[in-house]
Amino acid sequence: MSENQNKNLLLTQQEQENLNIVQKMFEVVEQGNIQEALIYFTDDVEARISIPEEVPLGGTFHGPKGIQQFLEAHKKTLVDTEWLDEEHWETVVQGERVVIIGRERAHIMPTGNMYESDFALAVTFRNGKISKLYSFVDSAVLVKAYRGK
C-alpha cells in the first residue's frame, strides 16, 4: 500500500497504528509469510470473504487456524496478485476501523485466467489486533475466471 495515500489525514496515534498494522499485514502476505501475518490477528478473529464457497477463498474463517487456511488458499488460488492504482485507493480510518477500497488483478489457479475487480476491505481492531475482517469483491467475475469461462 502506498504511503502517499495517508499524507493529508489527521489521525490519532491509535488510528495511525491500526493503519500501519493493516499495511504490515498486506506486506507480509504479499511476501508469502503466512505465519508472520497471523501475529496481527486476535485469537477469536472472524474473517468473512464474500466469495461463493466453490472458490476456496470464500466463506467465514475463525481464529488463527481459519486465517491460516484462508491465506494458504489465497496463495494457491490467486497467483501474481497486483494491487492496482494504489495511489488512488480510498482509505477511511476511524477509531477501531480501517476501510480500504481498491482494485486488484491476479491469475486464477487452476485455470490461469485473469481476474480483475474492485474490492472493499473492512478491518476492525481490538487491543491493537485485527478482530474482524470483511472482504468484498465482484464475485461473479472471480467465479467466472475460477470456472474457466
CB 54 within 8 A of CB 146: yes
pTM (two decimals): 0.86
pLDDT band, residue 91 (cuts 50/70/90) = very high
> 45-66 as b/e, with b when 16 or more CB fall inside 10 Å?
bbbebbbeeebbbbbebebbeb
User: What local confidence, expressed as pLDDT, does residue 4 receive?
Assistant: 45
